[in-house]
Structure 1
Amino acid sequence: MTTSPQLPAHLTTRPLRPEDSRPVFELIAAQEREDTGRVDIEEADLVSDWSRPSHDLATRSIAVLDGDRIVAYGELVGADRAAAAVHPEWRGRGIGTWIAGWIRETARRRGSSVVGMPAFVGSPGDRLLSVLGYHVRWNSWVLELPEGEEVPARELPPGYAIREAGQADLRAMHDVLEDAFLEWSVRARESFEDFTASVLGRPGFEPWNLRVVTDTTGEVVGAAVVMLADGTAYVDRLATRADQRNRGIARALLVDAFAQGRAHGATVSELSTDSRSGALGLYEKVGMVVTSNYVNRAIHL
C-alpha cells in the first residue's frame, strides 16, 4: 500500500486481516480506557463480527500503521454503520479525520446515502465528528446490574417454558430477534448465516449462551443471547415476538439470562440499549444503572 499524503509521512495503510484481532482489540481498549475509564470491548467481539460471511475486511476496513504497529483503524460494518479508533498516543495528528474521510468515501462507493458511528459522549471522537458535521442519530447506554442485585422475577404464562436453545430453535430464534429489532432499527435484515457465524463462531461460545421461551405448542416466542467474559454476563440481544408482549416474557428472559451468567461465574450483569428502542426506563426500573453513555453520529453523503 502507498502512504497517504494526508497522514504523517511515515505512516502506511492496508486492509485489516483476521489475525489483526488482537492488536485492534488492544487499540480500541486503549481508547476506551482513556475516554471512559473502563474497557467494554472484547477481542471476541471483533472475531465474531469479522466472521460474518457478509463482511469483507479486504474492502471494508483500513489499518493505519507505524511500522508494524496498528495505531488506528476504521471499518464500514454495514451499509451505514462504521467503527473507528485512534490510539490516544496518536491523537491530534489528523488521523481520525483521515479515517472518517476514508469511511465516507468507502460508503459512497457502495451506494450508501448516510454513514455513522458511535462515540463516547464528550470524548475526542465525539468532538471531532461534531466538528466534521456529523449529527446525532441516537443515544445509547451500557447498563449494569450491580453485584448482589437481582431483577424481580415474573411468572411466565401457564404452559410456557424457558430453556437452552437447541439447533432446531436457531432459525425461529433468529426470526424473533430480527423481527423485533427491525421494528425500530433502520438497516438491512441480518442473514441467518451471519447470525450463526457471529454467535456460534464467537470464541468461548457455549450452548447455554442461547436462551428461548416457548409457548404451549412449543413455538419460540422469546429469545436472548448471553455472553460471558471476565466475570461479566452480557445480554447481547433479547426480544419477544410482537404478538406475545406484555406477558412477562422479556422479564423472565432477563432474569434467566442473569441467573445463567451467575451460575457460570459472573458477578456482574450488563446489557446495552439505545434511544430508538425506548427501553432505558424499563431497565432502570428493574435496578440497572447506566455506566456509559454513547451517541451515534452520522453524516449524509
Structure 2
Amino acid sequence: MVDPFSSPFPASYRCRAATVADARAIHDLVAACERELLGAPETEPDRTVADLTLPGIDLADDTLLILNSLEQLAGWVWVHGGRRSTVDVHPDHRGKGLGGVLLGWAEARARRAGSERLSQTISNEDRAAVELLRSRGYEPFVTQWLLEIALAAEPTVPAPPPGITVRWFRPGDERAAYQLTEDAFDEWQKRRKSYQEWARRTVERDTFAPALSPVAFAGDQMVGAVLSLSVPGSDEGYVERVAVRKDHRNQGIARLLLRESFRAFHRQGHRTCTLWTHSETGALSLYQRVGMTIRRSSAVYGKALGTDQGVL
C-alpha cells in the first residue's frame, strides 16, 4: 500500500490502522465534529464500539487513523463491506486536505474489496463535506430524517387490535426480532444482514433497553417490534428499529408500539424521543401521524468507482 500522505500534506501527521482500544478516542473525535456542526454530540460511545467490532471488519484493512505530532487523533476513515464509508476530521484540523486524503483512501479500499460503488451519509448542514463529495463525483440518492417527539405529558396508548398481545422484550426474543426486522427491511435494503451484524448494532449494545422495547404477538408469533436505546445521562430516548410483519400491517400495531415505548421513556424521565428514517422506507408519514416532527436531515451520497485509482 502506498503511503496516503504521499500527496502534499503537513509532515507532522502520521497514519495507522485503528484498534478496538481506539474506540474512546474515535468517539471523542466524532463527538467534537457533531458538537461543532449540531451543537451537541449525538453518537453514543457503544455505537463506535459496535462499528469497530462488526463481523467481517478487518481493522488493519478497513480503517485508517490520522494522528498529529502529539499522537492526538485528527481524522479517521472506516469502510464496511467495501460499500459504506465514514470520514471524520476534527474541527481543529480542517482546511489541511485531510478529508480529501481519507476519502481517496476509502475509495481505494472499496476497489480492493471488489466494490463498484461507495456511499457515505452526510448531514445536510455539513456544507464543506457536501462540497467535497460533489467535487469527487458523488451524488445524493437517499434522504434521511432525524425525527423527534416532545414528551412533556405522558403519552396515551391505544388498545391492541383483536388477537394481538403486547409485552416488553425478553431474553430469548433476539432471533424472532432479527427475523421480523430483517424481513421488513428486505423491502428496501440492498443487503440482508447476518444475525451477528444485526445483533451487534441492536440487542448487544450496552444502551439497548429491553424495558423500553415493546413487542407484539399474534399467538406465539412476533408480528411487531420497537427496539429502543437509552443513553445514561441523556434526557432523550432513541428508537433504533421499528418493524411490523407484512401480513399484520394497517392494524395500528406500529402506532401502538411506538406510543408504548414513548410512554415508557416518559416514565423514566425522558422528555424527548428520536428516531431516524429515510426515504426508501416510506415510513415518514407514519411517524408524523404519531406526532413526530423533523429535526434535521441528511443524505446518502454515492459514487460509481470506475477504474480511476485514487489514493492507494
TM-score above 0.5: yes
Measured at CA, do residues 150 and 54 of structure 1 come closer, stay the same or move farther in structure 2, by a change above 3 Å? Answer: farther
Residue number in structure 1 paired with 2:301: 297
Question: Unaligned regions of 5+ residues in structure 2, if any?
Answer: 306-312
Structure 1 counterpart of 2:93, one-letter code? W
Counterparts of 2:121 and 2:169, CA distance in 1: 31
Structure 1 residue identity aligned to 2:258 = L
Residue-by-residue CA offset, 1:112-141 (whole Å, 9 max, x unaligned): 111111111141111211121110011111
1:191 to 189, 194, 201: 194
- 1:137-286 correspondence runs (5 A): 137-148=141-152, 153-186=157-190, 188-215=191-218, 217-229=219-231, 230-286=234-290
Deviation per residue, 1:16-46 (Å, 9 max, x gap): 1111111111111111122222321111111
Seen in structure 2, the aligned counterparts of structure 1 residues 300 and 258 have a Cα distance that, compared at 3 Å, is same
Aligned to 2:6: 5
- What percentage of residue pairs aligned between the two structures are identical? 32
User: Which residue number in structure 1 is paired with residue 310 of structure 2?
Assistant: none
- Give structure 1 regions of 4+ aligned residues with deviation exceeding 3 angstroms: 149-154, 204-207
Report Cα offsets for 1:247-295 as digits up to 9, x if no partner: 1111111112212222333221000111111222222232212112111
Whether the 8 Å CA contact 1:48–1:203 is kept in 2: the answer is no
Equivalent position amino acid for 1:170 in 2? E
Of 26, 37, 47, which residue of structure 2 is paired with 1:45? Answer: 47
- Residue 209 of structure 1, CA deviation: 4.8
Deviation at 1:150, TM superposition (A): 6.1
How does 1:25-44 map onto structure 2 within 5 Å?
25-44=27-46
How far 1:3 sits from its partner (Å)? 6.8
Quick one: distance in 1 between partners of 2:112 and 2:224? 38
1:288 and 2:292 aligned: yes
TM-score (norm 2): 0.89
Structure 2 partner of 1:96: 99
Q: 2:64 aligns with which of 45, 62, 65?
A: 62
CA contact (8 A) 2:24 2:45 kept: yes
Q: Which moved more, 1:278-287 or 1:39-48?
A: 278-287
**Aligned-residue offset at 1:202:** 1.5
Contact (CA 8 Å) 1:31, 1:85: kept in 2 or not?
yes
- Cα deviation 1:196-244 (Å, max 9, x = unaligned): 33334322444325431111x2210111210011121100111001111
- For 1:74-89, what aligned pairs fall within 5 Å after superposition? 74-89=77-92
The AA in structure 2 aligned to 1:112 is: S
TM-score by length of 1: 0.93
Q: Which amino acid aligns with 1:34?
A: E
In 2, Cα distance between equivalents of 1:131 and 1:74: 18
Amino acid of the structure 1 residue aligned with 2:57: H
Task: Please give the alpha-carbon distance, in whole angstroms, between the structure 2 residues aligned to 1:126 and 1:119.
Answer: 7
Q: Deviation digits for residues 80-135 of structure 1, max 9, x if unmatched?
A: 11111111111111111111111111111111111111111141111211121110
Q: Is the 8 A contact 2:75 2:98 kept in 1?
A: yes
> Are residues 149 and 121 of structure 1, via their aligned partners in 2, closer, same or farther at CA, if it must alter by over 3 Å?
farther
Aligned equivalent of 1:126: 130
Q: What amino acid maps onto 1:286 in structure 2?
A: V
The residue identity in structure 1 corresponding to 2:81 is G
Distance 1:3 1:176, change over 3 A: closer
Distance (Å, rounded) in 2 between the aligned partners of 1:172 and 1:207: 14
Q: Which moved more, 1:219-228 or 1:150-159?
A: 150-159
Q: Aligned-pair RMSD on alpha carbons?
A: 1.9
Question: Any conservation in 1 of the 2:17–2:63 contact (CA below 8 Å)?
Answer: yes
For structure 1, list consecutive stretches of 5 or more residues without a partner in the other structure.
Answer: none
